[in-house]
Structure 1
Amino acid sequence: MTELLKQDYVVFSELGRGRFGVVSRCVAVDSGESFAVKSIDKRVISAGDSLDTQCLLSEPKILHLLSRHPHITAIHGVYEDETHLHMVIDLCSSSDLHTRIISRVIPEPEAASLMRQLMQAVAHCHRLGVAHRDIKPDNILFDQENQLKLADFGSAEMIKEDELMSGLVGTPYYVAPEVLAGGEYNEKVDVWSSGVVLYVMLAGFPPFYGDSAVEIFQAVLRGNLRFPSRAFHGVSSAAKDLLRRMLSRDVSRRFSAEQVLRHPWFTIASESMATG
């Protein structure tokens, strides 16, 4: 670990481990404030896919560009040595969304509050020309004040206006069909993934599934969106309408992040929370 990082932070226990490195808790020497440090092993990514290398090494730049949004993990420092890239980021010590949704279905007003925070983060990314490309419950964290934070921009890409991306990036249940189709795509892949997150919060299971990655991909490509009555009998028609618009296979008809935020469901759900 780089000496400069050790001068500024005391690194403690490991919080999690991914394909390219580990995330640990650390404390700033000067303030005593707690953060997380994401340490990426450059040897692993340089030996792998060039897309992985490009995305992971651009992550600090992207986080700096997006920084100080209330619903995106902020970056506080970058340190590099011969073998690792270390990023000091917000510590989100509460459970992630994945942990929350495996234990219970999220009530609709609560789901609306979480989705509003997520889409505010996504809209901010898109306004600044960043596509996240791997939105899923595991990458949706919560800080000590229970504020949602979109995290892990290791698959993100910066795009110019009207520019398209390519490359198979994402997670089986949450990846958009146009990504799987192998062609070019735009930032609306994030809206699709967010729509899957909303569906899972409300139903407790994903809209497109199978017993293997191949079967899941086939179901996503078919995009046959259903609302089984056993799971959706208490869900409002406004929520289902929004899901149809987010999970539209026709990208030209799929809502943008800004359009999602303007959907009346958010007002209806918040009024329901106020009167419930």
Structure 2
Amino acid sequence: MGNKQTVEKTVVENSTSNKGKQVKFQEINNSSSFFTKSLLSLNSQRSTYSVSRPWSRVSRKRWKESTLTLPYDSSKTAWPVSQLESYFLPVFPIDSRPHEQKYKVIEEIARGAFGKVFKVLSEESGGNIYALKVLSKSKIIKENAIQQVKEEVQIQSACGHHTFIVSSPCHWQSRKKLYIVTEFISGGELHNFLEEYALPKVLIKLYIAQIALAIDFLHNAGVIYRDLKPENILLDARGDIKLVDFGLSKWLTYGGKTSTLCGTPRYMAPEIFHLQPYGHSCDWWSLGVIACRMITSKYPTSFPVKENESPGNLPEDVELTPSEKDLLLRLLDVDPSRRLHSLRTLQTIAFYKGYNFEDVKNKKLKPNDLLQEFSPQKKQIEENFETF
């Protein structure tokens, strides 16, 4: 491609004689005699790529998915895409513009294993505030996490429209970085909230229901979350929960099994520790740990090592109502086949007797309103929602 030459080729095949092919070339620019002799060689086989067609000059910005997947299109010559970029195509489209041209960085709000998260302002969308995750490709490749990152954005893009799941409007890549934009949630982590306040029972019931609705939606969509914990649950200005960070999530058909050892140990289901195949019920165990933390202000004790042992892992010296104890024992059953693992079952137990899940789904119950009636710490907690 370094030498600019234009060659016109005419091919005429003689099917009635054994003289072979007659070839006529008109050379416009004969600056390279070696190149011309190569084209005039009659002994060489005809290339499957027609030299009469000009080379496709497709910029990286206009790279199409068909070029990567269709054998015919992949044979076209294009401006080179580096190997570092091709690893993340076609999930992450290429955009070499600096992210500062799209978003104004306000402040850094978090750091992770692969990069940083910034609070940013988008002037193109009318001044909306977003969270921008900037990830290092080299670190992702080093940790063999390419597929993991791809599935993260695919799952969040597909499921982010749910009421209690953070949405992700766009994502792209430059030569060395990946960029994932999500909605910005101002209330902070549920973890920090639980460390500071003892929540009223009515708010605990609402939060468990909101988390259960999010989990049930993911499972029905063919997704296993695998890292449910208060650190991955944010609170918006109203106090409603938003599920974030799909880094360990995986596409898994309902009823399917997987065996990867992953998650946060304190919230990890026993079947994962036992290195057994596990399914979506592991997320309901994690919900049980969170529910235990909210109801008792303590975590469950270590679960039994042997499978045939009774659960018996609730905190000692804690008074529980029969309905609370029933809820926790159902969620923290070491046998995943007996464990409560569906929204439909959750709605039928005593803890949620007479409870309207449709009001929860439609956000008719506002946490701040519940705090006004039941919590003496209303003012402090509301301030936490707004400014955390």
| Normalised-by-shorter TM-score class | 0.7 to 0.9
The answer to whether residue 332 in structure 2 is matched with residue 237 in structure 1 is: no
Corresponding position of 1:91? 184
Cα distance in structure 1, aligned partners of 2:304 and 2:177? 34
Match of 1:193 among 283, 286, 297: 286
Do the aligned partners of residues 66 and 178 (structure 1) sit closer, same or farther apart at CA in structure 2, a change above 3 Å counting? Answer: same
Structure 1 unpaired stretches of 5+: 210-215
Using the TM superposition, give the Cα deviation of residue 241 of structure 1 relative to its aligned residue in structure 2, in angstroms.
0.4
1:252 counterpart = 2:337: yes
Tell me the TM-score normalized by structure 1. Answer: 0.87
Partner of 1:212: none
Question: Which residue of structure 2 aligns with residue 16 of structure 1?
Answer: 110
Structure 1 equivalent of residue 197 of structure 2: 104
**Alignment partners' CA distance in 1, 2:324 and 2:219:** 23
Question: In 2, Cα distance between the equivalents of 1:185 and 1:225?
Answer: 20
Give the C-alpha shift of residue 93 in structure 1. Answer: 1.4
Identify which of 45, 48, 52 aligns with 2:140.
Answer: 45
**Partner amino acid, structure 2, of 1:266:** Y
Match of 1:213 in 2: none
CA contact (8 A) 2:301 2:314 kept: no
Deviations 1:73-109 (A, max 9, x none): 0001102112222111011111211001112332222
Q: Which range moves more in the overlay, 95-104 or 133-142? A: 95-104
1:166-198 superposed Cα distances (whole Å, 9 cap, x missing partner):
111110110001111112110111000011001
Match of 1:27 among 108, 117, 121: 121
- Among the aligned pairs, what percent are the same residue? 27
Alignment of 1:225 onto 2:313: yes
**What's the C-alpha RMSD, in Å, of the aligned pairs?**
2.6
Residues of 1 paired with 2:210 and 2:189: CA distance? 14
Contact kept? 1:208, 1:219, Cα under 8 Å: no
2:22 matched residue in structure 1: none
Q: Which amino acid aligns with 1:236?
A: T
Instruction: State whether structure 2 residue 217 is matched by structure 1 residue 134.
Output: no
Cα separation, 1, equivalents of 2:288 and 2:242: 17
Taking CA–CA contacts closer than 8 Å with sequence separation of 6 or more, which of the two structures ends up with the larger relative contact order? 1
Residues 80 and 86, structure 1, Cα contact 8 Å, conserved in 2: yes
- Answering whether residue 207 of structure 2 is matched by residue 114 of structure 1, we say yes
Using the alignment, how far apart are the partners of 2:140 and 2:342 within structure 1? 31
Rounded Cα–Cα distance in structure 1 between residues aligned with 2:276 and 2:170: 36
**Residue segments in structure 2 that go unaligned for 5+ positions in a row:** 1-94, 357-369, 375-388
For residue 147 of structure 2, what is the aligned residue in structure 1?
54
Structure index of larger Rg: 2
| Letter aligned with residue 352 of structure 2 | F
- CA contact 2:299–2:315 (8 Å) conserved in 1: no
Tell me if structure 2 keeps the 8 A contact 1:247–1:254: yes
Give yes or no for the alignment of 1:162 onto 2:248: no
Q: Any conservation in 2 of the 1:5–1:79 contact (CA below 8 Å)?
A: no
For residue 147 of structure 1, what is the aligned residue in structure 2? 240
Indicate if the aligned counterparts of 1:208 and 1:220 stay in contact, CA closer than 8 A: no
Q: Does 1:68 align with 2:161?
A: yes
